[in-house]
Structure 1
């Protein structure tokens, strides 16, 4: 593996890790860095490049598992609950499933339409801006009436409503974490509770989609591509781990509006550079 290829894998993994769970759209950033700059499809085949993006996403998912491993084991019954929440006030696996259902069903029904019509730079820019407006609206309205301070206090109604709002994230550029955290804040969750719920929900939905994609594209795991995959996976894992811990430490203080402003500025910069 030559140095240039190593650096490209490292950079793409870093972009994935830093942006996957922040409410700024990893899809938008991957389009900017890869499709508009590095052009991984030029130094890999199209299908190997797409498989690589799935592999680095798995690195990001592993970072969530590391951060929330106790909570995840509690949810599936492999570890006794040790937090101080009353027994009737603990996040349940069924609540996570309720939150996943709306976007999961719509994603299956409209997968072909989304892949064919929504994966373009133009649609991503629209998603970045509209998602930013949703985040600003959430902070201005829902952020003033917090009733749920921790993820253990989430109700089934809140989980389902967040799941409905998460459907916006099927539009590339909208951001899964941006729409889900906004939805949580709008239904009375604190920013930290909404972020925790978002990250926990991300594990099954992202892992399932990624593993399914890997099964379909297993033939592209060649010896030539494997070093590239490994470097990208490790890079995504490390930077996602740092990103998640940093984001959880600041989200309650700075909330969503700074991220929304960044998204709007990013969309304007991309538009001015590539479409004028």
Structure 2
């Protein structure tokens, strides 16, 4: 790998980690097109590093919310129709991450056996269909009871956490795709589901990246450190602006648009990887 490759891969990670298009599929395809084996120890370690850059970006975007959750910042109580309204709290986050973390911990060896280019290809298509269904259901069948994150009930947080298991067991399905769609199927607005998806990404991704780093730290050698740092910085910068742009344009960019993009990506994936 050279610095150009680390920049390109950092851009791809930053662009795709938090939107429902499958960062896994993009990383596999990009590495293949560039002539790299994404399964080598160095490449796997590099992917962890640039993922950490994306995590830092989302943590900064949601910094004030994180401080409130941890009780390190005091905000004025929310008022709805003259009555104080409960804010999102740590229990919502725990319910949102516990199912996926539990499955990942106890089934980690089984999950590794599920990973293949073909599995990711099918996940791109299945995830796109799931997202389109969730958007249709949210618009026509569901009574939205949570218009922003602070409206979330514990039940809705848990349901989102359960839907997140799909992405754990099916590489390429997209963590954000499963959680946003799961939220919309549970009576949560598109924006609130996306907000909560981004917020719970922080502990989920930190746990996953931290676990992998314990096994890969020996690959942090001086000859690749510059590449790792470059990829980290690029991923951080790109992810930061992507999340800000996504939340700003969320009413214009629907899940169906991402689903169609996934179908196109699946076709490209088939041409470059499966043939």
TM over 0.5: yes
Instruction: State the partner residue of 2:139.
Output: 143
Query: Are 1:97 and 2:94 matched, yes or no?
Result: yes
- Pick aligned residue for 2:151 from 153, 174, 179: 153
Partner of 1:125: 121
Could you tell me how far 1:41 is from its partner in structure 2?
4.3
Deviations 1:187-227 (A, max 9, x none): 11111100110011000010111122212221111111100
Counterpart residue number, 2:240 = 241
| 8 A Cα contact 2:123 2:171, kept in partner | yes
SS in 2 for 1:217: helix
Query: Which of 76, 80, 86 is the equivalent residue of 2:74?
Result: 80
Other structure's SS at 1:252 match: coil
Whether 1:220 aligns to 2:203 is no
CA gap 1:259/1:85 in 2 versus in 1, 3 angstroms: farther
Of stretches 75-84 and 22-31 in structure 1, the one that deviates more from structure 2 is 75-84
Matched residues in 2 for 1:233 and 1:77: separation?
Answer: 29
- 1:65 paired with 2:62, answer no
SS at 1:173 equivalent: coil
Deviation at 1:109, TM superposition (A): 1.8
Distance in structure 2 (CA, Å) of the matches to 1:228 and 1:267: 29
Tell me the distance in 1 between the aligned counterparts of 2:132 and 2:46.
Answer: 34
Give TM-score scaled by structure 2 length. 0.93
Q: Deviations over 1:157-209 (max 9, x none)?
A: 00011111111111111000000000111111111100110011000010111
Equivalent-residue separation in structure 1 for 2:67 and 2:36 (angstroms)? 37
Distance, in Å, in 2 between the alignment partners of 1:100 and 1:66 is 20
| Deviation of the 1:260 alpha carbon | 0.5
| Alignment gaps of 5+ in structure 1 | none
Cα distance in 2, alignment partners of residues 123 and 67 from structure 1: 32
Q: Is the 8 A contact 1:75 1:92 kept in 2?
A: yes
Q: Secondary structure at the match of 1:253?
A: coil
RMSD: 1.7
Residue of structure 2 equivalent to 1:193: 192
Moved more, 252-261 or 89-98: 252-261
Q: Which runs of 5+ in 2 are unaligned?
A: none
Corresponding position of 1:269:
268
Moved more, 16-25 or 245-254: 245-254
Mapped to 1, the partners of 2:208 and 2:118 lie a distance apart of 24
